[in-house]
Amino acid sequence: PLEVPQFGRFGDLKMRSSFRGSKRMDRLRRSFRDSFRRRKDRVPESLKPYQWQADETAVRNGTCTFQVKYLGCVEVFESRGMPVCEEALKILRTSRRRPVRS
């Protein structure tokens, strides 16, 4: 016989306590979570110098290219530094004009 599903106070599906506490269900739940998370292939630390050698030669030869997206322009008062870039980006994001729906 099939059991009628029961819903908790907050709309979540209630499970029997025997299912909730079982190790098999935990393993199944973990396998589902892991399968939905896409993991990038990790490059070991020992291979990273080889990974960047082509970029290093391109920079030294002056032939490197960067794919960028133009966000706008903001006047800054210092010429370098991450805090300066972060502040400028924050200003660009807040000043962006959004289309008006009518």
**Whether the predicted pLDDT of 37 surpasses 80:** no
Q: Which residues are CB-neighbours of 74 under 8 A, at least 6 positions away? A: 88, 91, 92
> What are the boundaries of each domain within the chain?
6-36
Q: How far apart are CA 9 and CA 65, in angstroms?
A: 56
Q: How far apart are CA 83 and CA 74, in angstroms?
A: 14
pLDDT, residue 31, reads 80
User: Model confidence over 41-82: pLDDT tens digits?
Assistant: 666 666 667 777 788 888 889 888 888 888 888 899 888 889
Q: Please, where are the H alpha helices in 37-70?
A: 48-61
Model pTM score: 0.34
pLDDT, residue 3, reads 59
